[in-house]
Structure 1
Amino acid sequence: MKIIKVLNNNVAIVHDRSGHEQVVSGRGLTFGKRPGDEIASTNISQTFTLQPEATVQLTQLVAEIPYPYLQVTGQIIDHAKQTGISLHRGAALTLADHLFTAVKRAKAGEVVPNVMLWDTQRFYPREYAVGQAALTMVKAQLNVSLPPDEAGFIAFHLVNAESGSARSDAAKITQLMQEMVNIVRFHFHFEPDPTTPDYCRFITHLKFFAQRLLRGEPMATVDEELLRLIMRRYQAPAACAQKISAFLSNRHGYQVTPAECGYLTLHIERLVYRAQAQ
Structure 2
Amino acid sequence: MKVIKNINNNVAICVDDNGHEVVAMGKGIGFSKPPYEVDLSKIDRTYYSLDSHYVTLLSEIPEEVIDVTLEIVEKGSDYLGVNLSRTFWFSLCDHINFAIENVKNGLVISNPMTNEIKHLYEKEMLLGKWAINHIEKRLSIQLPLSEVSGIALHFINAEQMTTIGTQKDEITHFIDDITEIVESEMNIIIDRNDFNYSRFVTHLKYLLKRSTRLNETNSENVKLYDEVYEKFPELRKTIEKIKLYILAELNIEPSKEELLYLVIHINRFCTRAGL
RMSD: 3.0
Alpha carbons of structure 1 residues 86 and 31: separation in structure 2 relative to 1, 3 Å:
same
Instruction: Give a deviation string over 1:3-27, Cα, whole Å, max 9, x none.
Output: 2422222211234577654423333
Runs of 4+ in 1 over 6 A off after TM superposition: none
Code of the aligned partner of 1:99: I
Report the counterpart of residue 86 of structure 1 in structure 2.
Answer: 83
Distance 1:19 1:94 in 2: 29
Indicate the residue corresponding to 1:67 in structure 2: 63
- The percentage of aligned residue pairs carrying the same residue is 32
Task: State the SS of the aligned residue for 2:31.
Answer: coil
Secondary structure at the aligned position of 1:100 is classed as: helix
Contact between 2:6 and 2:31, CA under 8 Å: does it hold in 1?
A: no
Partner SS, residue 83 of structure 2: coil
8 A contact 1:10–1:67 mirrored in 2: yes
TM-score (norm 2): 0.55
Q: Which runs of 5+ in 2 are unaligned?
A: 163-197, 214-249, 252-275
**TM-superposed deviation, 1:79:** 0.5
Deviation at 1:70, TM superposition (A): 0.9
Deviations 1:72-118 (A, max 9, x none): 01110110111113211111111112111111111222101101111
Task: Give, as a single letter, the amino acid of the residue that structure 1 aligns with 2:40.
Answer: S
Selected match of 1:171 from 200, 203, 206: 206
Aligned partner of residue 131 in structure 2, secondary structure: helix
Aligned to 1:148: 145
Q: What amino acid does structure 1 have at the position aligned with 2:62? A: P
Q: Distance in 2 between matches of 1:125 and 1:161?
A: 16
Which residue matches 1:120? 117
Is 1:27 matched up with 2:27? yes
State the AA in 1 paired with 2:3.
I
Q: Which has the larger radius of gyration?
A: 1
**Separation (CA, whole Å) in 2 of partners of 1:148 and 1:128:** 11
| Cα distance, 1:3–1:156 mapped onto 2, change above 3 Å | same
State the distance in 2 between where 1:146 and 1:50 align.
Answer: 33
Residues 234-268 of structure 1, C-alpha deviations (whole Å, 9 max, x = no match): xxxxxxxxxxxxxxxxx79xxxxxxxxxxxxxxxx
Q: Cα distance 1:149–1:18, how it changes in 2: closer, same or farther (>3 A)?
A: farther
Alpha carbons 2:8, 2:63 under 8 Å: kept: no
C-alpha displacement at 1:45, in angstroms?
Answer: 4.2
- Rounded to whole Å, the distance in 2 between the matches of 1:143 and 1:11 is 23
Give the 3 Å change call, closer, same or farther, for CA 48–158 of structure 1 in structure 2: farther
TM-score by length of 1: 0.55
Which residue number corresponds to residue 2 of structure 2?
2
- Tell me the amino acid that sits aligned with residue 6 of structure 1: N
Distance 1:124 1:115 in 2: 15
Question: For residue 58 of structure 1, what is the aligned residue in structure 2?
Answer: 54
Distance, in Å, in 1 between the alignment partners of 2:31 and 2:134 is 27
Count how many residue pairs are aligned between Structure 1 and Structure 2.
Answer: 177
Is the 8 Å Cα contact of residues 49 and 90 (structure 1) preserved in structure 2? no
- Partner of residue 44, structure 1: 43
